Amino acid sequence: MAHEIISDLQITKLAGNGVVPLAIDDTGTVTATTGSATVISSGSNANGEYRIYSDGFKEQWGDVSTTSSGGSPLVQVFPVAFDSPPTNAQVTMHRTRLWNYGVETYAHSETTTTVTLECSANNGSAVSRQVFWSARGY
């Protein structure tokens, strides 16, 4: 499907199984909008925080420490299940006083209920770091 440009400067970006509208203001700043969707549920539990919209779109996020125990990555359980694997999952390392040069972060292997989070040094060994993760989808 192609992108459609609307006269009020809204762009519709097709993503996965759903449509995520974007708005562009006079300065060229792009922001996500929810159209007519409204938040129908939000909350948090031991696994993180979430927001669910009336069109089924879900946003979830959290703050955790990755593990280096035996080199095993952290399998993060989502606060609520997605209907299908999320269309976007990201992980960002917190800035710390530690020297983080050469440390890479990864979010991968998304399912409807989990995402795998990893931090590794430039030599490939797993390292523990505090990270912020987020996932979005339907």
The model's pLDDT over 11-55, given as tens digits with 9 standing for 90+, comes to 333 333 445 555 666 666 555 555 577 889 999 999 999 999 988
Q: For the chain, give the percent of residues with pLDDT over 70.
A: 65
CB neighbours of residue 102 within 10 Å? 10
Range of the domain at 96: 60-137
Q: What is the pLDDT of residue 31?
A: 58
How is the beta sheet containing 130-137 ordered, strand by strand? 39-45, 48-53, 58-65, 130-137, 88-93
Strand-strand pairing, 114-120 and 104-108: antiparallel
When pLDDT is cut at 50, 70 and 90, the band that residue 128 belongs to is: confident
When divided into structural domains, the chain yields a total of: 1
pTM of the model: 0.68
Output the domain CATH number for residue 75. Answer: 2.60.40.2080
